[in-house]
Chain A
């Protein structure tokens, strides 16, 4: 069964450094998402991406964040200058064209630790 994959599984970085989190969505899916989950808290929506542009973003997704789909398979989340509070699990998700991306399939996540 096709899966969403994410790399790396864990990343440790120094505050102020840039990180890029990578995701390979399921190949025929059209909608792509990033979420984060701070330890012990709920899963929070960051951004959705459709037709090569951001379709929705939350208040969390400020100018420090950006997303890209540089080729036909990868979907990346960049954090330009990491802060301690960016430490979280980051999940990528993708969705087929059922009712506009209603059912989402999640990757295993990247655990980011900012020191």
Chain B
């Protein structure tokens, strides 16, 4: 079945450092890929998505490129801020019968220090 593997956290960085959170996937079809962010005490928010190979999703300085050849969708940001501290979930969504059922990774906690 479909699966998503994320790097284990926590990832601890200083403000303005470069961020990479690795995500690889296994899927039988041609899924869409997503990154969700969960700030402390809140629900999941869609951060960015890509629906086909070589697409780049971007939002709030974050970006990720759908790499079919390496089955990856790594999240990057050039300069993190303290306010980026959150848990980041990589997910894929593939049609299962009539609807899309997303598969989530375990989440990677990001801690950014001033």
Whether B43 lies near A109 (C-beta < 8 A) is: yes
The residue on B at minimum CB distance from A110 is B43
Q: Which of B10-18, B61-69, B92-100 contacts A (4 or more CB under 8 A)?
A: B92-100
Chain A-chain B contacts (Cβ-Cβ < 8 Å), number: 64
Is the CB of B89 closer than 8 A to any CB of chain A? yes
Q: Quick one: given A42-B107, A43-B104, are A56 and B98 in contact (CB under 8 Å)?
A: yes
Mostly, the B contact residues are: strand
Whether A91 lies near B101 (C-beta < 8 A) is: no
Give the residues in chain A near B93, CB-CB below 8 Å.
102, 104
Whether B98 lies near A99 (C-beta < 8 A) is: no
Give the residues in chain A near B46, CB-CB below 8 Å.
103-106
Q: How far is the CA of A48 from the CA of B99 in the complex (A)?
A: 8
Which residues on A are within 8 Å of B, measured CB to CB?
4, 6, 31, 41-45, 48, 50, 55-56, 91, 93, 95, 99-109
